[in-house]
Chains A and B, each alone.
Chain A
Amino acid sequence: MRREVPLAITAIVGFALIIVYFIPHPPFNHSRDFFEDLFFIIAAFAIWLGCLNLLKVNADKVYLKKKGWPFSIVVWFGFFLMVIVGFWEGRGFMNPGTTFYYLYDKLYYPLNATMFSILAFFVASASYRAFRARNKEATILLIAALFVMLGRVPFGYYLSSWLPEGWRLGNITDWIMDFPQTAAQRAIMIGIALGIVSSSLRVLLGLERTFASGE
């Protein structure tokens, strides 16, 4: 029962949604709408599960005095700061001028933005230390990267404006993106699509059961 019920649910829901693609008329479209409406609620609970699990993990860290436990208190503080203010503000919590919006603008935004911006430094360091034209393939990669990096900024125009139209860095970059790059991405896309189709079928037919077993 522990495994069979989930597999049955998956198969019923999945095949109902495939059937509705081919027969988008009542009553099949009503079943699609029904499952999708349930999906929104469950997805929201899944988000809450993630948040509550985060609190649980950090609470365990504090309770067991694991390494770095004071920072778990900071996690709890940040969480409850946003939650208390957010619930207090009510439905208009996203409006500019609210305390929640202020916290979002002055805490969440700088932390989030800066966390991703430090990647710029690491990409520069990695480019300098690891990007080597060791073989033909790496050389092609390097040349393409150089063309795109210079062609995609105004400097590319100034470096190559003396060349005829169509042969400038910007034009070459456009050509690389429109043709060989598109071809390669398309090949990857088609391969992934076939993989997803086969794995979806495996899941719906119950051949793939990892989600239905274990914790």
Chain B
Amino acid sequence: METIGIWIAALLTLGIFSFLYKDNPFYKFCESLFVGISAGYWFVTTFWQVFMPKLADNLVAGRFYYMIGAIFGVLMLLRLFPKIGWLSRWSLALVVGTTAGLYFTRYLVSNGMVQVQNTIIPLYVKGNLSQTIGNLVIVIGTFSGLIYFFFSKEHKGAFGGLAKLGIWILMLSFGASFGYTVMSRMSLLIGRMDYLLGTWLGLIH
């Protein structure tokens, strides 16, 4: 069974790779199978990992307020029926309200205040030139980056100069992100090649 499974996995891998030559029915088959299997996996996992322990077991144990969640959940499913789909907005409203309420404080604190706090750092560190330069880069870089994103004022004069510096810092960051993206994509390909050459064909150990 294991050998058959490895062959099936390898053939499906080659099916997806065949897209690199050109689009073809074998690729489309693999793609459709992937979509169906993913949806099936999510469906089953949600049932056993969420509905059973969180809904069914709680209702059996007498915690009937979970029924409110079930009712809202069923309202969500009504979206599939155009005539009564408007009822799903109630469930969506609860989701949106929860998310908005949590995001309001969490993003303000963690991504706003804490980040600003850690940008207010000494511009001169006695006896440590590299730290001084680093701190200057952080402060000036963050400030000029924020200046660039302020589009309510025209970018000219000193303001424009700082915005220009901001773009350069941002470009540096995007270049670094590109380098990391290449690393990530190559890693994924290495994993598949290892599977094909090692696990399937047994050419590498």
Write the residues of chain A forming the contact surface with B, with a CB cutoff of 8 angstroms. 2-3, 5-7, 9-18, 21, 34-56, 68, 71-72, 74-83, 86-87, 90-91, 93, 100, 102-121, 123, 127, 136-138, 140-149, 152-153, 166, 175-194, 196-197, 200-201, 203-204, 211-213, 215
- Whole-angstrom distance from the CB of B167 to the nearest CB of chain A? 6
B79 nearest CB neighbor, chain A only: A49
Q: A74-B32, A144-B179 are in contact. Are A193 and B108 (CB under 8 A)?
A: yes
User: Which 9 pairs across A and B sit closest by C-beta, in order of nearness?
Assistant: A78-B36, A183-B141, A187-B145, A144-B175, A82-B40, A148-B179, A86-B44, A17-B101, A45-B73
Closest chain-B Cβ to A34's Cβ sits at a distance in Å of: 7
Q: Is the CB of A119 within 8 A of B172?
A: no
What is the minimal beta-carbon distance from A79 to any residue of chain B, in angstroms? 4
Given A39-B98, A102-B1, A144-B179: A176 touches B119 (CB 8 Å cut-off): no
Query: Across the interface, which residues of B come within 8 angstroms of A40, CB to CB?
Result: 50, 54, 69
Contact at B41–A48, with CB atoms within 8 Å? no
Inter-subunit contact A183/B137 (CB<8 Å)? yes
B191 within 8 A of A: yes
Say yes or no: B40 contacts A78, CB within 8 Å.
yes
Q: Given A48-B43, A117-B188, do A42 and B95 touch, yes or no (CB 8 Å)?
A: yes
Majority SS at the chain B contact face: helix
Contacting residues, chain A, for B20 (C-beta < 8 A): 118, 121
CB closest residue in chain A, given B4: A106
For the complex, what is the distance from the CA of A181 to the CA of B169, rounded to whole Å? 7
A78 touches B35 (CB 8 A): yes
B contact residues around A12 at 8 Å (CB):
97
Whether B41 contacts A104 by the Cβ 8 Å rule is yes
27 residue pairs from A and B, CB less than 8 Å apart: A6-B93, A13-B98, A38-B94, A42-B76, A44-B51, A45-B76, A46-B76, A75-B32, A81-B37, A91-B48, A110-B9, A114-B13, A114-B16, A117-B189, A118-B20, A145-B175, A145-B176, A147-B179, A178-B134, A182-B138, A183-B145, A186-B115, A186-B141, A190-B111, A191-B149, A193-B108, A204-B104
Contacts of B185 in A (CB 8 A): 116-117, 119-120, 123
- Check: B24 CB closer than 8 A to any chain A CB: no
Query: Which B residues touch A52, using CB under 8 A?
Result: 77, 80
Interface size class of B (residues with CB under 8 A): 35 or more
Q: Does the CB pair B101–A16 fall under 8 Å?
A: yes
Measured in the bound complex, the distance between the Cα atoms of B115 and A5 in whole Å is 37
> How far is it, in angstroms, between the C-alpha of A203 and the C-alpha of B95 when the chains are bound?
12
Residues of A within 8 A of B41 (CB): 82, 86, 104, 108
Most buried by A among B34, B82, B171: B171
B96 within 8 A of A: yes
- A55 vs B5: C-alpha distance when bound (angstroms): 27
Please tell me if B197 contacts chain A, counting CB pairs below 8 Å.
no
Cβ contact of A14, chosen from B98, B139, B146, cutoff 8 A: B98
| CB of B124 closer than 8 Å to a CB of A | no
Q: Which of A115, A137, A184 has the most CB of B within 10 A?
A: A184
Contact between B98 and A51, CB atoms less than 8 A apart:
no
Contacts of A145 in B (CB 8 A): 175-176, 178-179, 182
Beta-carbon contact of B30 and A47 below 8 Å? no
Given A189-B115, A196-B107, also A82-B179 (CB < 8 A): no
